[in-house]
Structure 1
Amino acid sequence: MKEAETKHELIENYYISLIEENKVSAGDQLPSENEIANLFNVSRHTVRQALTYLVQEGWIYKERGKGSFYSNKKTNEVKKNVAVLTTYISDYIFPKIISGIEEELRRKGYNLLLFNSNNDIENERRCFEDIINQDISGLIVEPAQSTINNLHHDSIKKLEKNNIKYIAINANCDEENSAYIVVDDEQGGYKLTNYLLELGHRNIAALFKADDLQGEKRRRGYIKALNEYDLSFNKSIVGEYITDNQEMYIDQFIKKILNLEEKPTAIVCYNDKVALKVIDNCRKENIEIPKDLSIVSFDDSSLAVSSGVKLTTIKHPKEEMGIRAAKCIIDMIEGRIDKPQYTYSAELIVRDSCSRV
């Protein structure tokens, strides 16, 4: 055991000395594992031990499929600062997500720097510039307007150039090449709609957010469930709003469907906030829930049980997602994993906002 430790320490010290003596530059590539094994006459296992240590200590970094590269000498110690960039901070489910992140980062000795895009692409771009100029080693980000914004390619390239690890939450803009943690939104849309169909509903309205991937995938699940019952997609009772027009659009859409001659018997809402707007409009029109209209939604936020109508909804993991995101970004920073990808199954929480027809 002692001999193996001496061998991998020999490799570690050799490459550290090259950096300290300025014999290599940041971004230069190390030899392959086989070449290092031959150079030091050791096994590849010993080489991997040495490289793992060098990554954890910040001397080198790895790129999947490319190899190992020297880090900037000035950043050869892992910086214990992680930036968190979310679309919102202070309301809805976001405080719990952020609380989970902060709890885990603090437990592992990391500091949190908090940024807010307000779900605006230009704000997000400015936040990225600020983050890149900060002394950080990792970023947890919820992309703004994710259907029209595959994050900022130039900003992502700068993150990678500065060896800043990043993971997306709630939206996976690049399913093949990026790290992400999401809920299966398509499955959620399917489960909610299928639940209504099993209760006998056939004229099911829906209201989704069009500029977020979550909304697009929830809509896809809604359509999939309808198709399984040979029901066509009725565009006239499906609303799609965006961040910039949501307040006005939601109220107008709800009033429109509530005044149709053939009113929908149920509605799938993008989230609990939208569902509460539906409930408020129904009260104004003397429409009883769930007697006259069944309502389902997403996120299982505190709003789901805050009114007289307790919402049937899809659970969002909130604090648990935050803790997982923090664990993943720390593991990425410290070289234990590359680009983790995790999807939570959609869990249906049944309450009393639906009735059988």
Structure 2
Amino acid sequence: MKPRSTRRKGGGHTIDDVARHAGVSPMTVSRVINDERNVRDTTRKRVTDAIRELGYAPNQAARSLASAQTLKIGLLYSNPSAAYLSEFLLGGLDQCSRSGIQLIVEKCEPEVGEIVAIERLLASGVDGVLLPPPLCDSSIVIERLKTAGLPAVAVASGDPLPSVSAIRIDDQAAAEAMTRHLIGLGHRRIAFVRGHPNQTASRLRYEGYAKALGEHGLTVDDRLVVQGYFTYHSGLDAADKLLNLRHRPTAIFASNDDMAAAAIAVAHRQGLDVPRDLTIVGYDDTALASSVWPPLTTIRQPVAEMSREAVTILADAIRRKIDGQPPTATSELMDFALIRRQSDGHPPAGDDGDAPTASGA
């Protein structure tokens, strides 16, 4: 089978040729062509040199059409965490405003279903779609967008489908880091509140927790692992179960800040001091993490920055489509950080920290 030529008919070079010549991604070439600011000067020079050496000329007719029309990006959401959604919207709206892009927001109501929501969004004439969790993992939505020929970016999926671009953090490594931090403080009975099973990131966070325990000779105690759904209410239920155990945990690691904040509320209701009697930590570092008392130690997932970058990736994919370039799916991994505040500490004085070990002792 003959390999497909990357040249346009008539012998002209494509954006992919320029990218290979400059040693960068096609997205970077597009950013330089569109005079976007988030490109290093050295990289910009390599790209412009490659454009000059190859004699590359963008499809001006298509580019004129693209500049004459405002790009319309759709945001389809059904996230139960208002704090997470607020961070995501702020980032996306900011980048759309900077780039002159119109953002169309559509809510996926549980009683209506994904198909109805995505069809409403498609009917609005969007050029591409942002998919924050949990819709970043929806095969139904992603397949429908693929059928419609629209580019999409999945944000914060633990295992993104290959047909869409994706931006995320390493959820397993982040959960490992937090669990190691708690072990380093002396905790051995560390409870874990799982995230909603409809999100692949939930599995990776649990796996990171379990792996870190195993690395320190500890086994997962199933009594200390409870199911949550990324909602404040599910965090209340989970904390109630954990804090009513005969041997309650000395630390609770919740899979998002909403559930961690709920756990703090339950602890206070039971007369427990956080962190003197009980350590509680979260995940995401939304605004909620610093507004509860005590402020949460948490994993910072750069939600707003991920949303901004997702807009940039999506806009580039739309422009490539307008310019007649083949679709490509890119994947970016952003950094996370463990943010320590006042909700964590050493186990209570006199607590022996007994926990199952890998040998069963």
Q: TM-score range by the shorter chain?
A: 0.7 to 0.9
CA distance 1:234–1:99, shift in 2 (3 Å) = same
Contact in 2 for aligned 1:186/1:218 (Cα 8 Å): yes
Describe the SS at the equivalent of 2:56.
helix
Contact in 2 for aligned 1:275/1:296 (Cα 8 Å): yes
Q: Which residue in 2 is equivalent to 1:328?
A: 313
Deviation string 1:38-83 (CA, Å, 9 cap, x unpaired) is: xx4667769993565566467xxxxxxxxxxxxxxxx997652111
Tell me how far apart the structure 1 counterparts of residues 111 and 58 of structure 2 sit (CA, whole Å): 38
Contact in 2 for aligned 1:79/1:137 (Cα 8 Å): no
CA distance 1:248–1:100, shift in 2 (3 Å) = closer
Cα drift, residue 268 of structure 1: 0.5
Describe the SS at the equivalent of 1:127.
helix
Contact in 1 for aligned 2:254/2:283 (Cα 8 Å): yes
The residue correspondences of 1:65-214 to structure 2 (distance < 5 A) are: 80-88=71-79, 91-118=82-109, 120=110, 123-144=113-134, 149-152=138-141, 154-160=143-149, 164-171=150-157, 173-209=159-195, 210-214=197-201
Q: Which residue in 1 is equivalent to 2:39?
A: none
Contact in 2 for aligned 1:78/1:137 (Cα 8 Å): no
Tell me how far apart the structure 2 counterparts of residues 42 and 98 of structure 1 sit (CA, whole Å): 40
Describe the SS at the equivalent of 2:139.
coil
Cα drift, residue 315 of structure 1: 0.8
CA distance 1:203–1:145, shift in 2 (3 Å) = farther
Contact in 1 for aligned 2:75/2:103 (Cα 8 Å): yes
Q: Which residue in 1 is equivalent to 2:222?
A: 235
Deviation string 1:102-157 (CA, Å, 9 cap, x unpaired) is: 22222222211111225x4953321211122222211111243666x334354133
Structure 2: which amino acid aligns with 1:257?
L
Deviation string 1:231-250 (CA, Å, 9 cap, x unpaired) is: 1111111011347xx66654
Q: Out of 280, 293, 296, which is 2:278 matched to? A: 293
Q: Which residue in 2 is equivalent to 1:272?
A: 257
Contact in 2 for aligned 1:296/1:311 (Cα 8 Å): yes
Matched, 1:216 2:203: yes
Contact in 1 for aligned 2:232/2:259 (Cα 8 Å): no
Tell me how far apart the structure 2 counterparts of residues 121 and 53 of structure 1 sit (CA, whole Å): 46
Tell me how far apart the structure 2 counterparts of residues 43 and 291 of structure 1 sit (CA, whole Å): 65
| Stretches of structure 1 lacking an aligned partner (at least 5 in a row) | 1-30, 59-74
Structure 1: which amino acid aligns with 2:108?
S
Contact in 1 for aligned 2:251/2:278 (Cα 8 Å): yes
Structure 1: which amino acid aligns with 2:100?
G
Structure 2: which amino acid aligns with 1:179?
S
Structure 2 length-normalised TM: 0.74
Higher mean alpha-carbon deviation, 44-53 vs 169-178, is at 44-53
Contact in 2 for aligned 1:187/1:345 (Cα 8 Å): no
Structure 1 length-normalised TM: 0.74
| Stretches of structure 2 lacking an aligned partner (at least 5 in a row) | 18-50, 348-361
CA distance 1:89–1:101, shift in 2 (3 Å) = farther
Q: Percent identity?
A: 23
CA distance 1:342–1:151, shift in 2 (3 Å) = farther
Tell me how far apart the structure 2 counterparts of residues 103 and 264 of structure 1 sit (CA, whole Å): 42
Tell me how far apart the structure 1 counterparts of residues 297 and 160 of structure 2 sit (CA, whole Å): 31
CA distance 1:106–1:125, shift in 2 (3 Å) = same
Q: How many residues get paired?
A: 301
Cα drift, residue 101 of structure 1: 1.4
Instruction: Decide which structure has the larger Cα Rg and report it.
Output: 1
Describe the SS at the equivalent of 1:49.
coil
